[in-house]
Amino acid sequence: MNLFDNMIQELREYPHKIIIYGAGVAGKKVMEFLHENDIRTDGFAVDAAYYRENSSFLGLPVYALEQLLASEPCAYVIGFMGLTPERDAALRSQDNADRVYALDFAGRYPIGVDNRMTDSFMQMNGALLSDLREKLADSESQLEFDAYIHQQCCGEYFKRYAEKQPQYFDSDVISFGEDEVMADCGAYDGDTALAFLKTVQAQTAAGKPASVRKIFAFEADSANADKMRENLRDIPQAVIVPKGVYDHSGVLHFSADNTTNSMVAENGIEIPVTTIDETVGDENVTFIKMDIEGSELKALHGAEKTILRCRPKLAVCVYHRPEDLVTIPQYILSLHPDYRLYFRNYRTEGVESVIYAI
């Protein structure tokens, strides 16, 4: 049984308080999930450093976790990201932590809608996923791929991931050369561009010379783009492109919340979009990174000429929609069948999973 289904069944008949551990965006999503499944929520709990006396969140009381654990038995549903196995074990060891549910809400709702891999999805795509697994270029890719699929199907919070490697610049997978030209799609506030420069500098210092000639930094959220201009003001290689990346140029509706999770939507503000092909022109693009909240396949279509012409290294997120894990590798290999594919996870939760094409 999926762990989400198991939790629903148990909590519907639970006699004591049901507490969400975490009072933020993730905690709100957990409460919405519980209410959608006819499960009451009796409050939120936070660590002592975040507790304020007589505070509330979404109309419910907020408790100090330590005080609540000392007073009465409760069921706790984890409502934050960044839980460690050690912290999980410490909570479960408390006598009054009657039940603890650490489930992968982040991976189930990566772009705000339910995106878990259902039984029907697996029946339809199981053979294609098995084929992709066999095409992965190293055993670590296969192990992390297996862990991701298992997590998506059963809902476990923890999975195997590349804990000590930087996302998009994993030295076990990718290296860089002279005159790199990067297309940073979903550039947020410039953090990935800065990390790219730092990675290239570190590689050069380690005796493998590399350099960066240009970074096209695409960001559709205007507030994020303003932050990026400030953060990259001293980076001469940076070309700020305050547009979304898609398969055509024009205008789309966009959900913008000034966070890393801004995405194409049916409603929202109107924003301009462009294609990589149109923006980079004849530039010899050597590296494309994409984390654009479910629009990766569309953006790859808009980069088709560039990929065919330049065969750049690719680092593309595949966790926003279940079908991305099938359609994105298929499309990449249709352009260059000789690409070597690698798969890596960069969080224990079901987010930040990347397909590399080298």
- Picking from 190, 185, 182, the residue whose alpha carbon sits closest to that of residue 232 is 190
pTM of the model: 0.92
Largest CA distance in the chain: 67
Token pair, residue 102, equals 């650490």
Confidence grade of residue 264 (pLDDT, cut at 50, 70, 90): low
Is the pLDDT reported for residue 226 higher than 50? Answer: yes
326-355 pLDDT, tens per residue?
999 999 999 999 999 999 999 999 999 999
The C-alpha atoms of residue 204 and residue 5 are separated, in whole angstroms, by: 50
pLDDT for res 258: 43
The C-alpha atoms of residue 10 and residue 37 are separated, in whole angstroms, by: 12
Confidence grade of residue 199 (pLDDT, cut at 50, 70, 90): very high
Is the pLDDT reported for residue 259 higher than 50? Answer: no
Token pair, residue 262, equals 């801004």
Annotated domain spans of the chain: 3-103, 123-357
Q: What's the residue count for the chain?
A: 358
91, 66 Cβ separation under 8 angstroms: no
pLDDT for res 10: 97
What amino acid occupies position 346? Y
Confidence grade of residue 85 (pLDDT, cut at 50, 70, 90): very high
- How distant is the alpha carbon of residue 295 from its chain centre? 13
Residue pointed to by tokens 């979404």: 58
Q: Is 356 helix (H, G, I), strand (E, B) or coil?
A: strand
302, 245 Cβ separation under 8 angstroms: yes
Provide the b/e sequence for 155-186 (b: ≥16 CB within 10 Å).
Answer: bbbebbbbeeeebbbbeebbebeeebbbbbbb
The C-alpha atoms of residue 103 and residue 243 are separated, in whole angstroms, by: 35
Helix or strand holding residue 202 (H, E):
helix 191-205
CATH number, domain 123-357: 3.40.50.150
- Picking from 165, 229, 244, the residue whose alpha carbon sits closest to that of residue 193 is 229
Distances (CA, A) of 113 to 207, 238, 280: 46, 34, 33
The C-alpha atoms of residue 215 and residue 134 are separated, in whole angstroms, by: 33
Cβ-based neighbour number of residue 205 at 10 Å: 9
C-beta pairs of 134-142 under 8 Å, 24+ apart in sequence: 135/329, 135/333, 135/341, 136/341, 136/342, 136/343, 137/340, 137/341, 137/342, 137/358, 138/342, 140/172, 140/344, 141/341, 141/342, 141/343, 141/344, 142/343
Token pair, residue 151, equals 């997590």
pLDDT for res 255: 60
92-143 pLDDT, tens per residue?
999 999 999 999 999 998 877 788 898 899 999 999 999 999 999 999 999 9
pLDDT for res 195: 97
Mean pLDDT rounded to a whole number for the chain? 94
Helix %, strand %, coil % for the chain, to 5?
35, 25, 40
| CATH class in words for 3-103 | alpha beta
pLDDT for res 298: 97
- Catalogue the E-assigned strands of 123-249: 180-185, 212-218, 238-241, 244-245
22-80 pLDDT, tens per residue?
999 999 999 999 999 999 999 999 999 999 999 999 999 999 999 999 999 999 999 99
270-294 pLDDT, tens per residue?
889 999 999 999 999 999 999 998 9
Confidence grade of residue 263 (pLDDT, cut at 50, 70, 90): low
